[in-house]
């Protein structure tokens, strides 16, 4: 962003990191929802997220750094049932950003005879954890914008 569009003043390192974190947590919530939706799908491989890799990609997109030009897909690994559903639910990422490598099937998880790797209880725990992390990050982002508002207006 340039100073001319007014956006650079809001792109502080903490705002960029929190925005990237919210994007990744939102993606994780969608993955968990997709896993829950496929709890009874035979052969479904539970999808999970490499948070570090996804955060790095999202932070690069927020700050306009590294990435492969034009990569906007988030389809998950080929041959994984449900990957096309994930692609249709994927957020539109800025040019140069890709979270595709961060979405992977969880290895060695076949809890059922039909080969389904989704454990309902585990997914619910992860959904609750992700929701609390998202709430905390959004509150921190609100505080960051509050500090900017105080700096601009001189009052809180």
Task: Please give the structure tokens belonging to residue 152.
Answer: 């601009």
Query: How much is the pTM?
Result: 0.69
DSSP code string of 91-104? PPPPTT---GGGEE
Stretches in the chain below the pLDDT threshold 50: 1-5, 67-97
Query: What is the reported pLDDT for 66?
Result: 54
Query: What is the reported pLDDT for 32?
Result: 94
Cβ distance 61 to 1 under 8 Å? no
Query: What is the reported pLDDT for 117?
Result: 85
Q: Please tell me the distance from the alpha carbon of residue 156 to that of residue 151, in angstroms, as a whole number.
A: 9
Query: What is the reported pLDDT for 124?
Result: 96
Reported in sequence order, the residue ranges of 38-124 that DSSP labels E, i.e. its strands, are 47-49, 103-105
Query: What is the reported pLDDT for 83?
Result: 40
């Amino acid at each position: 962003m340039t100073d001319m569009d007014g956006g650079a003043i809001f792109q502080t390192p903490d705002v960029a990191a929190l925005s990237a974190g919210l994007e990744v947590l939102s993606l994780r919530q969608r993955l968990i929802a997709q896993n829950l939706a496929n709890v009874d799908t035979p052969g479904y491989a539970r999808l999970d997220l490499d948070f570090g890799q996804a955060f790095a990609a999202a932070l690069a997109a927020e700050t306009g750094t590294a990435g492969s030009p034009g990569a906007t897909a988030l389809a998950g690994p080929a041959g994984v049932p449900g990957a096309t559903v994930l692609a249709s639910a994927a957020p539109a990422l800025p040019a140069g950003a890709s979270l595709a490598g961060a979405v992977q099937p969880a290895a060695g998880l076949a809890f059922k005879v039909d080969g389904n790797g989704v454990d309902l209880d585990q997914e619910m725990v992860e959904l609750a954890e992700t929701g609390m992390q998202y709430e905390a990050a959004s509150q921190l982002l609100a505080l960051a914008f509050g500090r900017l508002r105080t700096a601009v207006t001189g009052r809180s």
